[in-house]
Structure 1
Amino acid sequence: EPSWSTRTVEDDPGAPFFNDTTKYVVSATLTTATWRNSKIIGRYDPDTIRSLKDEVAGDLYVSGSGTLVRAMLADGLVDELHLCVYPLTRGSGPRLLPEEAAPGNLSLAACESYENGVVYLAYRPQA
Structure 2
Amino acid sequence: MGTIAVHEFISLDGVFENPSWTAEYGFDPKMGEAIGAFTSTSKAILLGRKTFEMFAPAWSTRTPEEDPGAPFFNETQKYVVGSQEPNVEWANSTRLGAYDADAIRKLKDETDGGIYISGSGTLVRALLQEGLVDDLHLFVYPVALGEGARLFGSDGVKLALKDSEVYANGVAHLNYGPA
Fold similarity call, TM over 0.5:
yes
* Aligned pairs for 1:1-127 within 5 A: 1-30=56-85, 34-99=89-154, 101-102=155-156, 104-126=157-179
Unaligned runs of 5+ in 2: 1-55
Higher helix share: 2
Say if 1:108 and 1:124, in contact at 8 Å, map to a contact too: yes
Q: 1:50 to 1:107 in 2, by over 3 A?
A: same
Structure ID, larger Rg? 1
Hey, what's the Cα distance between the residues in 2 that align with 1:29 and 1:69? 18
Give the letter for the 1:16 counterpart.
P
Calculate the aligned-residue CA RMSD, in Å: 1.6
Q: Which has the higher contact order (CA 8 A, sep 6+)?
A: 2
Unaligned runs of 5+ in 1: none
Hey, what's the Cα distance between the residues in 1 that align with 2:104 and 2:88? 19
Provide the TM-score with structure 2 as the length reference.
Answer: 0.65
- Where do 4+ consecutive residues of structure 1 move more than 2 Å? none
| Cα displacement string for residues 33-77 of structure 1 (whole angstroms, at most 9, x for unaligned residues) | 611111111110000000000001111111111100000111111
Give the letter for the 1:80 counterpart.
D
Give the letter for the 2:120 counterpart.
S
Say if 1:25 and 1:39, in contact at 8 Å, map to a contact too: yes
Hey, what's the Cα distance between the residues in 2 that align with 1:94 and 1:67? 10
Q: 1:54 to 1:32 in 2, by over 3 A?
A: farther
Hey, what's the Cα distance between the residues in 2 that align with 1:69 and 1:31? 18
Hey, what's the Cα distance between the residues in 1 that align with 2:124 and 2:86? 22
Q: 1:106 to 1:19 in 2, by over 3 A?
A: same
Q: Percent identity between the aligned chains?
A: 56
Q: 1:40 to 1:5 in 2, by over 3 A?
A: same
Aligned length: 124
Hey, what's the Cα distance between the residues in 2 that align with 1:15 and 1:38? 15
